[in-house]
Amino acid sequence: MSIELRLSDIDPPAPDPPRTIYRDIVNLPNPVLLGMTVRYFNYDDVGLYFQITGAGAGYTFGTVNLGLLASGTDAYRNLDQLASRAKPSPGDLTNGELDESITLTLKAYTDAGYTTLKWTYNRVVSVKFINSADAAFTVDFLNNFDDGTVQGWEVVAVTSNTAVSRGISTDYVLSTPYSLNLVMYWSGATGATVQHITARLYKSFTTPNKSQVYAIIDIRIWRGADSGSNWTRNKNYTIKKDTDVLAFFGRPYDTSYVEDYFPQSKWMRVVVPLPPNTTLELRVELDAATVRNPNNIISTLRMDDIKIISK
């Protein structure tokens, strides 16, 4: 095996665990778009040009050229809208659930034209659709912020020289009139040094004692506009159970200002399983690199219609 595709931050030689992508059909558009963050490895003695695509019943996949990866290295890539399928109807689900599988195919070529194939690696991924509005599920918690409060969500600056605020907003919402907002600011001295900025939204929940428990989070993120030598790039956001990473989107922190590492200014839905009968802290962390003057906005986040459901 001279190339590998992983869907976690677990390093070899430890095995990458099986992965399931969870999706809630409520209020999703039709067709349904599929995006994810992948990690790929080049174990070959030479640099290779990587490409990824996929296949699955009812799915239409694109093909993404990932570029050159040096020998002995690995890279992360967020693949926005890699695939699409017709949105399942509630009748397609049994007791609010539908299980599928897709196959991701990673290819490695020796040339920049992607004509001389050297390696192929296939990875089967499970996809579970749920219908959170189905009678089989109980909505145990719903935070839609429509009472005009933050409904118990707290915020903390994880990195130094970072200021944060949280409150409610009316500009981007899924259920009117309010959503939860987080704003990150640079609070250090003026200078040209790239700074690592991280903030966390969090709230404690006690999950019900049932066999299946899911958290559903709708999130929208964008960064402050560049101005002269001042810039920000969003690197990743993470959903955690206490310190355990449940979902990661983007790439690990670096100081590059070339691009953001996950989609900006669009609503994204994340569904993660939670353990039953457990008191836990649900965390949403946003990671960015910036060169900013003091008190400039670095990044902004909105969340709405956060649910914990069970059956």
pLDDT at 104: 98
182 in the same domain as 89: no
205 in the same domain as 97: no
Looking up tokens 């640079």, which residue turns up?
Answer: 186
146 in the same domain as 115: no
Query: Does residue 283 carry a pLDDT above 80?
Result: yes
pLDDT at 1: 67
- Cβ atoms of 298 and 234 within 8 Å: the answer is no
51 in the same domain as 35: yes
Cis omega (within 30 of 0) for bond into 275: no
**Domain end (from 104, 130, 156):** 130
256 in the same domain as 193: yes
CATH number, position 51: 2.60.40.10
272 in the same domain as 150: yes
Q: What is the mean pLDDT of residues 25-47?
A: 96
pTM: 0.94
For 176-218, write each residue's pLDDT tens digit. Answer: 999 999 999 988 877 778 999 999 999 999 999 999 999 999 9
CATH number, position 180: 2.60.120.260
205 in the same domain as 87: no
Cα torsion 263, 237, 232, 170 to 10°: value is 70
Question: How many domains are contained in the chain?
Answer: 2
| Number of other CB atoms surrounding residue 107 within 10 Å | 21
Q: What is the mean pLDDT of residues 122-147?
A: 98
268 in the same domain as 170: yes
What is the extent of the structural domain holding 61?
3-130
- Cβ atoms of 251 and 241 within 8 Å: the answer is no
150 in the same domain as 261: yes
Cβ partners under 8 Å of residue 159, min gap 6: 195, 196, 197, 198
Instruction: Identify the CA nearest to 36 among candidates 3, 98, 81, 4.
Output: 81
- Cβ atoms of 35 and 127 within 8 Å: the answer is no
Per residue, the 3-state secondary structure of the chain, as one string, reads: CCEEEECCCCCCCCCCCCCEEEEECCCCCCCEEEEEEEEEEECCCCCEEEEEEEECCCEEECCEEEEEECCCCEEEEEEEEEEEECCCCHHHCECCEEEEEEEEEEEEECCCCCCCEEEEEEEEEEEEEECCCCCCCEEEEEECCCCCCCCCCEEEECCCCEEEEEEEECCCCCCCCCEEEEEEEECCCCCCCCEEEEEEEEEEEECCCCCCEEEEEEEEEEECCCECCEEEEEEEEEEEECCEEEEEEECCCCCCCCCCCCCCCCCEEEEEECCCCCEEEEEEEEEEEEECCCCCEEEEEEEEEEEEEEC
CA distance readout (Å), 16 to 40, 75, 109, 123? 12, 15, 24, 11
Q: What's the mean per-residue pLDDT of the chain?
A: 96
Looking up tokens 């700074």, which residue turns up?
Answer: 195
**Share of residues in the chain with pLDDT > 90 (%):** 93
285 in the same domain as 150: yes
Cis omega (within 30 of 0) for bond into 208: no
200 in the same domain as 98: no
**Domain end (from 130, 163, 184):** 130
Q: How far apart are CA 153 and CA 118, in angstroms?
A: 50
For 213-259, write each residue's pLDDT tens digit. Answer: 999 999 999 999 998 888 999 999 999 999 999 999 999 999 999 99
**Domain end (from 84, 110, 130):** 130
32 in the same domain as 150: no
For 161-177, write each residue's pLDDT tens digit. Answer: 899 999 999 999 999 99
